[in-house]
Amino acid sequence: MNTPIEFLRRIGPDPHANGRQTIALCNCPDIFELTSGDFAIIGIDITDAARPKLPPTAGCGPDERIVFIPRNLLVEAKSDIPNQA
């Protein structure tokens, strides 16, 4: 990937706001919007376990990872995600 990575803003609330605990303990799953308009996800790498279970029409290339994020992270971020491209 040759695109410069610049974080614009966090999508959704801070996962540690108000002393909240996260499943990753020291760090946390998170969603960010990049200045390009694309998104970056911090999550737990589940690639090895998930790759063999992908539907036949899906794939995960050698330069890609499948990450787990808790449901509440995406649900709480919903209002910050644009509705259109």
What global pTM score does this model have? 0.78
pLDDT of the residue at 6: 96
Residue type, position 59, single letter: G
pLDDT of the residue at 48: 97
Listed in sequence order, the residues at least 6 apart from 69 whose beta carbon sits closer than 8 Å to its beta carbon are 29, 31, 41, 43, 44
- pLDDT tens-place string over residues 43-85: 999 999 999 999 999 999 999 999 999 898 899 999 988 887 6
CB 70 within 8 A of CB 76: no
Query: CA-CA distance, 60 to 33, in Å (whole number)?
Result: 22
Arithmetic mean of pLDDT, 11-29:
70
**Residue 18: pLDDT band with limits 50, 70, 90:** low
Helix or strand or coil: residue 31? Answer: strand
pLDDT of the residue at 82: 83
What are the residue boundaries of the structural domains of the chain, listed by start? 7-79
